[in-house]
Copies of this chain bind each other. A is one copy, B any other.
Amino acid sequence: MNTIIDTPDSPLDRARGNCSSPLELDIDTLHQYLPVVRCKLAAGEYVYRMGQPFRALYLVHAGSLKSCELAEDGREQVTSFRIRGDLIGVESIGLSHCACDAIALEHCEIWELPYPPVIAACLQLPALQARLTASLAEEIRRHRSWMLALGTLNAEQRVAAFLLDMARDHARLGFSDCHFVLRMGRNDMASFLGIQHETVTRALSRLQELGYIAIQRREVRLLDGEALRFLACGERMRRPMAGAERAPRIKSMGHGRATSSLRRPAARGDTAYEAA
């Protein structure tokens, strides 16, 4: 199989840090300090819901889930997708109630780590404390990475970046990084990317039309990772009928959201002088 992910430091990779081995703690070690409970979930079931008492963290052992932020007025958004090795529920630490929803996208197995005991165990098990802190920091970096993407990329570029991120996740689990099945539907993808599900479909169709990917429903093949990475780095997509050259940073070509940042690469904000 040919490798799509060849740059170990793509924009979205950086957020992940050096946490290469997902499950640094085995269940036997944990069991010495904690009453770990294995839970199985069906697709659509909630791990926890916003407003419920916060009682545990959860280590994803199999399957995939989504986190949903929701406002009292009904607005909601998927803020992350989690897979094997991820620790979920950490966003509610310091609160008495859960801050958001966590919902299984498919059949899952998760390990429940009761919260006060986890803190106690951290004192006995420095590796656990480190793992918890690292998980928190990594989640911050992931969010920031996506905030950068959502703030500077247009719809097509976001979709390209998302596919690369999914490929990376898939590769991290030891599977092919150029052929995989999306775990979430168009609505969840759109919510996460801050666009509408029709726009996601449009973008996917365009990427397929360009020959960058092949997609049927949720089954994806990445055919031209180079082109996708080119897109996800804020470059404008070459139009279907456009010439052969890849148009590196052409000025005043279209009005995509991305050109704005390309136009002012050295503008370091308002009061950001170069200081020592």
Write the residues of chain A forming the contact surface with B, with a CB cutoff of 8 angstroms.
11, 14-15, 17-19, 42-46, 66-79, 90-96, 99-100, 103-106, 123, 129, 132-134, 136-141, 143-148, 150-153, 184-188, 191, 194, 196, 233-235, 258, 260-262, 265, 267-273, 275-276
Does B134 contact A94, Cβ atoms closer than 8 Å? yes
Does A191 contact B151, Cβ atoms closer than 8 Å? yes
Chain B hits for A76, CB < 8 A: 148, 152, 261, 268
Chain B hits for A77, CB < 8 A: 147-148, 151-152
Chain B hits for A191, CB < 8 A: 151, 269
Write the chain B residue with the least CB distance to A68.
Answer: B269
Chain B hits for A147, CB < 8 A: 69, 77, 79, 143, 146-147, 150, 194
- Interchain CB contact (< 8 A) of A42 among B69, B79, B184, B275: B275
In addition to A19-B94, A103-B269, 10 A-B residue pairs with Cβ atoms within 8 Å of each other are A17-B94, A71-B234, A75-B261, A90-B136, A93-B134, A94-B134, A104-B271, A132-B133, A147-B147, A196-B260
Does B233 contact A73, Cβ atoms closer than 8 Å? yes
Q: How far is the CA of A43 from the CA of B269 in the complex (A)?
A: 12
- Interchain CB contact (< 8 A) of A185 among B137, B141, B270: B270
Q: How far is the CA of A95 from the CA of B145 in the complex (A)?
A: 15
Question: Nearest-CB distance from A70 to chain B (Å)?
Answer: 8
